[in-house]
Amino acid sequence: MNAPLLTSTHWGVYEVEVENGRVARLKPFKHDPQPSPIGNAIPGALTSPTRVLRPAVRKSWLEGGPGSATQRRGAEPFVQVSWERALDLVAAEVDRVRKTFGNSAIFAGSYGWSSAGRFHHAQSQVHRFMNCAGGYVAHVGTYSLGAARTLLPHIVGDMDELRAQHTPWTVLEQHCKLFLAFGGVPLRNTQVNSGGASQHEVGMWLRRLAAAGVALVNVSPVKSDLATTRAVEWIPIRPNTDAAFMLALAHTLVAEGRHDEDFLATHCVGFERLRAYLMGEADGAAKDAAWAAPICDVPADTIVDLARRLAANRSMITTAWSLQRADHGEQPYWLTVALAAMLGQIGLPGGGFALGYGPVNAEGADAHAYSGPVLPQGINAVKTPIPVARISDMLLDPGGKYDFNGAERIYPDIRLVYWCGGNPFHHQQDLNRLIAAWRKPETIVIHEQFWTSAAKHADIVLPATNSLERNDIGSTGRDRYMIAMKKAAEAPGEARDDYTIFAEISRRIGTHRAFTENRDAAGWLRYLYEASRERADRYGIELPGFDDFWEEGCFEVPKPAEPNVMLRAFRADPRAHRLSTPSGRIEIFSERIASFGYADCPGHPAWFEPIEWLGERAARYPLHLISSQPSTKLHSQYDHGTVSRERKIRGREPIRIHPDDAAARALHAGDIVRVFNDRGQCLAGVRIEAGLKRGVVQMSTGAWYDPLVPGEIGTLDKHGNANVLTIDKGTSKLAQGTSAHTCLVEIERYAGEPPPISAFDPPQFVEESAPVPPRV
């Protein structure tokens, strides 16, 4: 019997059924107990009218050259050209910019999840290509974890190393008694995992924890952020005030003598500095429950009772990634670590802290961190990366100075943006500001499968293949299966894979040998698989031969001999197992961070009033918008697919609102509303939701940007893209992460017939104008 044809996506593994040379349907992987429905969107999307079929060049750029009519990006038709001409144009532009202005004038960060396949991972391909050509301006950090990735090495250790140690659900079921989740464990997020998600088990484990008698506490403005078959204790906190809530918990522990002084003395440094702040010795304001209650809109008794229960039980504190995607987002993560240290349970089974159970599927999995094949990207000769969320700042302020993680830096002067495998019009905040910034570079090149808003705002668009249209290997850390992703269908039109595209451009600029190493795609797959054996050996994993793996279709990675307990070795002997922090211990006060002199991120965790919140500044825009991850797509991927479109309201992204807030505005379920603030405006469809804190609205990200007047700044987005509303501000000078969850809006019923959706329509195509003959 032949092995089933499999593919791996970021939201699951599927069996592929092909009919008449086309992908007909995707069936759930037999080992997946709760498969994601997102896979159902793929077959129809592959051949939809939204597909990019031929290379295309924006008309003004084609006729006028680099820098021509950049204000027309997003509003101008394209001219379809041959591959030879497109490749010549791109190669010439890469050469022009690097030779005239230097490689520091090329931005190729290309943020995005792209393919779950490890070789055809678009971001890796473009980075390798650019490094072979002399380098590029890169980014550091992620939109998901911008604040945490920068903060945590100073106070406890590298984010990825800590996540690889996360105590698994199996241990929590046996030992945990109180599971405190700031931001909950949203099951919509656990559908996905970068590089693959072969088994969806988080919902099952939450039910098992509840059945085992674990008290589940959800501190979140959204009740559904933690949902099981058993009632969960919901504490509906005011958004962006978790740091104040945590400080009050810490104050109660100190005031009542419930903190673990021995652990703080032997495993931590700087607690006395935080203690002075908690007790009001530093500023005269004790950070007790009475102080926090009006800030958080949570009764003081609730906070005190929770602090006592944390100290009396084996307690796990988990904090969703969303909390650090807000103004001063470093603070709740720092306080998560500090609180767990004060309880003294770090390194004990079922206790301590987690850097998010639930942001992605892998957190809490009882599996190895082995991640399988990895495409080497080479060494980047350009040493001026920017924080990932500061794209608009960089483009709008070349030569401008900014602070980041203890250093003053200068934004480069970008002439060429090369984007491959992502969508900045999804990830970046304040899209109207991004559109203004997007007009600054002389040329924007993008590889795309579909006519997304990013593609429509480019100068040169090269059609790329989908994962189902090429061979690859799906694999990622803490997932149980490595997948042989065999080509299932031919790509429509003239689409080519990114490797082929870059190989041809490399041939034109003289870097072909360095980029390809004289291997075709099949040769690379075999080479990368064999190269991953050494890393597999470190985990005691014995890989089969490549041919056996390819024929079988998948390889089950064995479980670890015993489950992890995060920081167990450090707890047992903090001298022999020093942390990577300057002191080798948990730094509740960081001398290094204090030395930076940042007023918005001092040497210990603290409360800062957000720039926008439902406190004193909410009079004009009285609703707090939570722009959460979607349940019907991954980020913006497959928003044009059936799963996403069937759950929209009259074609618009739903916005969830409390019944009282809806009644105050005379809104009913299914109404089309205008959501607005000073940054932008968009349409959305009303969904009444009692499980929201009053004053809070929730709208998922990922709706493709669809302007009423293409190319115009400030125009109405017809479709419901939340990022026309979100603020483009760094979390602090330390991390410069995104502050997307700090956002106030107002809502009103839209008057008249809503304009038709055009987000999924291709752009207009025209013929190239005849060149104007020179005057004699």
> What dihedral angle (degrees, nearest 10) is formed by the CA atoms of 575, 579, 583, 589?
-130
Q: Which residues have C-beta within 8 Å of that of residue 683, sequence separation ≥ 6? A: 652, 672, 673, 674, 675, 716, 717, 718, 719, 720, 750, 754
What's the token pair of residue 349? 């089974």
- DSSP calls for 742-759: --EEEEEEPPSPPPPP-T
Q: What distances in angstroms separate CA 544 from CA 262, 473, 533, 534, one per listed residue?
A: 49, 14, 9, 13
Cβ pair 473, 107 in contact under 8 A: no
Task: Write the burial class of residue 541 (CB in 10 Å: 0-12 exposed, 13-18 middle, 19+ buried).
Answer: middle
Cβ pair 328, 610 in contact under 8 A: yes
H, E, C per residue of 130-146: HHHCCCCECEECCCCCH
750 among known catalytic residues: no
> What b/e string do you get for 638-650 counting C-beta neighbours within 10 Å, with b at 16 or more?
bbbbbbbbebbbe
What's the token pair of residue 586? 């948990």
H helical segments located in 405-491: 424-427, 431-438, 453-456
Cβ pair 122, 116 in contact under 8 A: no
> What b/e string do you get for 603-626 counting C-beta neighbours within 10 Å, with b at 16 or more?
bbbbbbebbbbbeeeeeebebbbb
Residue with token string 């995992």 = 193
**DSSP state, residue 238:** P
Q: Which residues have C-beta within 8 Å of that of residue 664, sequence separation ≥ 6? A: none
Helix (H, G, I), strand (E, B) or coil at 354: strand
Q: Which residues have C-beta within 8 Å of that of residue 173, sequence separation ≥ 6? A: 205, 208, 209, 212, 214
- Closest alpha carbon to 221 in 326, 67, 112: 326
Residue with token string 């001063």 = 328
- Closest alpha carbon to 78 in 511, 463, 370: 463
113 among known catalytic residues: yes
Cβ pair 139, 386 in contact under 8 A: yes
Q: How many CB atoms sit inside 10 A of residue 486's CB?
A: 16
CA dist., res. 181 & res. 209, Å (int): 13
Binning the chain into helix, strand and coil, the percentages to the nearest 5 are: 30, 15, 50
CA dist., res. 647 & res. 591, Å (int): 50
CA dist., res. 195 & res. 19, Å (int): 27
- Closest alpha carbon to 147 in 319, 328, 407, 403: 328
Q: What distances in angstroms separate CA 14 from CA 9, 61, 185, 486, 638, one per listed residue?
A: 8, 41, 25, 12, 16
CA dist., res. 466 & res. 448, Å (int): 9
Residue of 11, 14, 61, 113 with catalytic role: 113
Residue of 14, 61, 111, 419 with catalytic role: 111
CA dist., res. 306 & res. 323, Å (int): 19
**Which residues form the catalytic set?**
111, 113
